[in-house]
Amino acid sequence: MSNQLTRRDFAIRTAGFGLAGFHLAGLKAMGLAPAALAEAEQAARSETSPPIADPHSLDPYSLVDPELLSVLKQFPAVDLTLEMAIKFRQMPGMPPLPAPAPQPVERHIPGPPGAPEVRIWIVDPAPIEKGKPLLLHMHGGGFMMTGPMLMPEIQAIATDCRCVVVSVDYRLAPETPYPGALEDNYAALKWVHAHAAELGIDRSRIAVGGESAGGTHAASLAIHARDRNEVPIVFQLLIYPALDDRTGSSNPPPPAIGNFIWTASANRLAWSSLLGVPAGSSKVPAAAVPARVASVAGLPPAWIGVGAIDLFAEEDMEYARRLVHAGVATELLVMRGAFHGFDLLVPDAEVSKQFSASWKSALRKAFAGGKAV
């Protein structure tokens, strides 16, 4: 129990940086195109002003699951600046769980042509076994940072799902805009496929997955791998993924969602930092955003999970609908009363345990079932 409390307290102290609104000054300092900044600034001025209170409106806190409420109320309202983001990157993440948990091994592999090497972490729960399944994992962090609980997360996945986990330290925005991170992730996908014997894995049982921005990257990687047709993927695990840059810009969210942890303002600026152009604009390349891709036919089976009051609820449900219509085997889970990142912040809540059990079960079933061809 003390370990769980430690992890939760760590998340509360750090997630306020990683899951808060992005400040325009940070994007200016990073050199985002002036035209993009002008549009982003105009959007911020027009969309972040406090709304006029409606005496008949519903209190957003009344929608939150009671077990999550006390932790949620510990979060201050933070508007992330570039300086804060840099400090967050420099903060040490939560250390790996001690043995007997499988220990992460750091490797550096060839990056995309003309790009630096890519750092990966490998967690193998059964080093002497052969023919194991593998999850290629992309971390969250709003495209700009790394999740503070990365190491315990990937250790838990490896242990609970009996698979090798390779987590990719892709290049971050805004210093590296699209398609830099995508190409890093694809280089890692090709590397694990080519080094299957060394890793002791079954190359026909490679899944991709991630949470939040990591889910974005996983969905994009699945699309990219389908189009290049070089490496088969058996499954995509999308944990409250950001799939549509238009959410919070050209598509304003309904009042009931996106009020906590990850807001419309944060989403606009996070996507703008990744894309290098204003989120929601006509300048966004369709290939960079899963929701903008013309066809989702031929993608691997998917599990998509999201909280009902998460900003991403509507776009995740819409993406699941598109997959189903395209004949892609899809499971969708929408958790009542859950906001963005709820399962990491309050892991002992019943809603969190149900959520985690669902995606872990889906991943195990995908590995035990059919093989990618």
Catalytic machinery residues: 212, 310, 340
The C-alpha atoms of residue 327 and residue 147 are separated, in whole angstroms, by 33
Beta strand residue intervals within 170-292, DSSP E: 201-211, 235-239
Give the containing element (helix H, strand E) for 183. helix 180-194
Q: Which residues pair with 302 in a beta bridge?
A: 236, 330
Reported as half-sphere exposure (CB side, CA atoms, 13 A), residue 223 has a value of 21
Sign of CA dihedral 84, 240, 165, 160: positive
Whether the Cβ atoms of residue 218 and residue 237 lie closer than 8 Å to each other: yes
Sign of CA dihedral 266, 291, 285, 120: positive
The C-alpha atoms of residue 105 and residue 124 are separated, in whole angstroms, by 9
Sign of CA dihedral 248, 251, 255, 256: negative
Whether the Cβ atoms of residue 256 and residue 310 lie closer than 8 Å to each other: no
Give the containing element (helix H, strand E) for 367. helix 350-368
Q: Which of 185, 271, 289, 165 is nearest to 228 (CA)?
A: 185
- Sequence-ordered list of residues with C-beta below 8 angstroms from that of 354, at least 6 positions apart, any chain: 335
End-to-end CA distance of the chain: give it in Å, rounded: 43
**Paired sense of beta strands 105-109 and 118-123, if any:** antiparallel
